[in-house]
Amino acid sequence: MRARHSVRRRGISRASVALSIAAALLGGFALSQEGAGAAGSPGGKGHAAHALQGVGTAALSGVGTKDLKAWQAARLANDRLRGRHKLVVRRATPTPGTAPTPGTAAKPGAAVNPRTAVKSAVATPAAARPGAGSVVPAVARPRAAAASAATALVLYDTTGPYGYLGELYAMAAANLAGHFGTVTAKPVSAYTAGMVDQYTSTVYIGSTYYGGGVPDAVPAAFYRDALATTHPVTWIGDNIWGMAGAVGVDTFKQHYGWDPTNSFYAPGGSVGNITRVSYKGQQLTRKIPAGYDGGVLYPALVSGPGYPQVTRLAEATDANSGDTSPWAIRSGNLTYVGEIPFTYVSESDRVIVFEDLLFDGLAPATAERHRAFVRLEDISPKSSPGELRAAADYLYGQKIPYGINVIPVYTDPKGVYNNGVPETVTLAQAPQVVSALKYMLAHGAVLMDHGYTHQYSNVNNPYSGVTGDDFEFFRAHVDAADNVVYDGPPAEDSTVWAQSRVTSALAGFAAAGLPKPALWTTPHYAASATDYRVVGQNIPARLERSLYFAGTLSGAPVDAGRYIGQFFPYAVKDVYGTTVLPENLGNYEPEPYNNHPARLPADLVAAARANLAVRDGVASFFYHPYYGTTALQQTVDGIRALGYTFVGPGDLSQ
C-alpha cells in the first residue's frame, strides 16, 4: 500500500507470542505485533502494521529459536531410547539443604529460595519484585478470579542444557492461569509432599526429557501426590512415564486407563505431520517447520474390565496419512496434553485448547460467553481528523464501544516524510485532531496511551525513525531476508528512562486538554520487563501482546536475550503483576510485509471462529482509521455473525 504522502509501510513480524515471537523460540508462543505506524506520515499512514515477533514462527527470542531444534532433537533421541528400553534414568541427588535453582535438581523437601516460588498472577505491583503480591484492584480483576478465588500451582523443569525453556513455558501457563485467581509458580524440584492439595488445580510442564546425562528432578512425592489427590492435575509434555514408573505401571493403567510407558512421540519412527487439532467443533491449526517439531505423544489407551474410560478431549490429524490420535485426554483427576503448545502459535492455533481446558480445573462453572473488542490504532497529531470522525461515526452508529490508541507526540527527526526537514508536532499543536479525539470520546471511545513518540531517537528502528513506524522501547533491525530481528532493550533502558517517557506521554495528553488514558499499549508490543512494570505503576492495565523474560520467575537477573511472547483470549494478571487485556486476532493489513502475508477481514473472522472454542473468550482486533470503514464493517459484521457481542475495554476484565 502507498500512503498519500509517504513511503510504503513495511510492518514488523511477531509471535507467537509469546510469547517471543519471530526470532523468539524459547519454547513459547509467538505474538502478533501491533500495527506499525498509522501515524508514520503526514497522510497518517506509515509502515504496514505488523505482528509481534513470533506469529507464524516461534514465540521465542533468537537464542531460544536456535536452541529449539537441538532441544527437540535431544528429546526425540531419548524417546527412541526409551522405546528400545535403553534409556537410563537416574534420580537427581543434590547436595542436602541446598536451594533449587535454575539448571540444578532439588532434593524433595530441600530448602527453597523464596525467590523461586513466585506468586505470579495476583497483583504484584509493577514496581515490586516478583513475589511481592498485593490486592488486585477490583476494577482490574478478571471476572473468573473474583468469582472463584481459584488458586493454581504451576510447576516447571529447570534442569538440562535447555532448562531455561521451562521457566519461559511456565510464565505462559501462569499468565493464563492468572485469569482465574492467584498463581504460584516454582521449579518442580522444589515440590514438597502434599502441595497439590493446597491449590485448586496444578499444572506441570514437562520440558526436560529426563534420561541419559540429565537425572530425573521430579520429586517422588509429586509423582505419588498427582495420583492420590482429588484435585485436578494437568500434565503437559514429558515425563508422564516417570509418574507411571514411580506409582507402578499397572496402578497407573487401572487408575487412568492408559499406559505412558508404552506411549511415544514417534511410535513409527517419525513425528508425522500433524497440522490440525479438532476441539469443540473447531479446526485449530498447528504449523511447525520441519526439524523443529517434537511431535505429539500418542497415548497407549487400554480397555477392558477394571480400566476407566478415557475422554479424548482434542484430536490431532496427520496431514500426510489422515490418521487421527488424541492431542489431549482426561481420566480421573488427570488431564494430559501431548505437547507443550506454546511454540509456533497463531491466532487460530491449538494453544486455544489449553486456554479453554484451564476452565475445567479452575472455574468449571463458567458459562458460555463470547465478547468482541475493536481498537483504532496509531492515532497521532498527524492523523486525519476526517478519517477519525468517519470511523467514530460508523462504530457509534453500530452501538459499538471501542478503544483509541493515541500517540501524544509525532516526530520525524530526519525529515523522512517532510522533504528532509525535521518535524515534531504535539497534540496541543494539533487542535483539529484533538477536537476529533474529543468527538470520539463523546461517541463511545475509551482513550488509550500508545507510547510517547512510538519511535526511538533519530535512527531507523528498524525503518525510518518516524512516529508510528518504529519501536520505542526495544531495538530492532531488518535483515537481508526482510525479517524484522529484535535486538533487545536500548542501552539506556532503566526504570528512570521508562518512567520519563511515560510521564512525558501523560503530560502530552494533559496539555491538550484530554483525560488521562485508561489503558496502555506498548508500541509494537515490545519492551523490557522493567518497562512493562513501570507502565503498570502508572496505568492500571495494558491491552496488548507482551514479551516475558527469563529470570522473572526464578529471581535470577532478567535475561533480555531469552524471552517468550504471548497473547491472550481473556484478561489475565501476568507475571509482571499487571492486568493485560486481550488482543488475539491481529489486524487488517491488505498487503504483505516482512514475509508476512496480507491479513484480510476473512482472516480475522476465521480467527474469531477458532476462538469460539474458549468458553468465555474474547475476539479482539485493531484497525487503522486511514483504511476507511469498508474493511472495518466487513470484519465487524463477520464477527457479529459468529455470535460475539462487542463491548468496551472496561468490560473485558469483568
202: left (phi over 0), alpha (psi -120 to 50) or beta: beta
pLDDT-wise least confident of 133-147, 451-465, 479-493: 133-147
Residue 387: CA count within 13 A, CB half-sphere: 23
| 470 confidence band (pLDDT: 50, 70, 90) | very high
- For 544-592, what is each residue's pLDDT tens digit? 999 999 999 999 999 999 999 999 999 999 999 999 999 999 999 999 9
Q: 651: helix, coil or strand?
A: helix
Q: 181: helix, coil or strand?
A: strand
How far is the C-alpha of 651 from the C-alpha of 582, rounded, in Å? 12
How far is the C-alpha of 156 from the C-alpha of 205, rounded, in Å? 5
Q: What percent of the chain has pLDDT over 90?
A: 79
Name which of 91, 79, 78, 76 is nearest 212 in CA terms: 78
Single-letter amino acid, residue 610: A
Taking the CA atoms of residue 462, residue 464, residue 467 and residue 469 in that order, the dihedral angle to the nearest 10 degrees is: -50
Q: Which grid coordinates are listed for 104?
A: 540444578
How far is the C-alpha of 89 from the C-alpha of 261, rounded, in Å? 13
How far is the C-alpha of 124 from the C-alpha of 143, rounded, in Å? 18
Q: 166: helix, coil or strand?
A: helix
User: Is residue 46 predicted with pLDDT exceeding 70?
Assistant: no
| 290 confidence band (pLDDT: 50, 70, 90) | confident
Structure confidence at residue 45 (pLDDT): 52
The answer to whether 382 touches 319, Cβ cutoff 8 Å, is: no
Task: Please give the domain boundaries of the chain with CATH numbers for all domains.
Answer: 62-88+148-362 (3.40.50), 371-544+583-651 (3.20.20.370)
b/e per residue 249-264 (b: at least 16 CB within 10 A): eeebbebbbbbbbbbb
Whose cell is 485426554? That residue is 329
φ/ψ (deg, to 5) at 574: -90, 180
Q: 40: helix, coil or strand?
A: coil
Name which of 601, 604, 600, 599 is nearest 585 in CA terms: 604
- For 93-141, what is each residue's pLDDT tens digit? 754 443 333 333 333 333 333 333 334 333 333 333 333 322 222 223 4
- For 249-281, what is each residue's pLDDT tens digit? 999 999 999 999 999 999 989 999 999 999 999
Q: Which grid coordinates are listed for 449?
A: 496511551
How far is the C-alpha of 295 from the C-alpha of 237, rounded, in Å? 10
Structure confidence at residue 94 (pLDDT): 56
Measured in residues, the chain has a length of: 654
Name which of 474, 485, 469 is nearest 526 in CA terms: 474
φ/ψ (deg, to 5) at 153: -110, 120
How far is the C-alpha of 227 from the C-alpha of 247, rounded, in Å? 8
Supply the DSSP symbol for 349. B
| 49 confidence band (pLDDT: 50, 70, 90) | very low
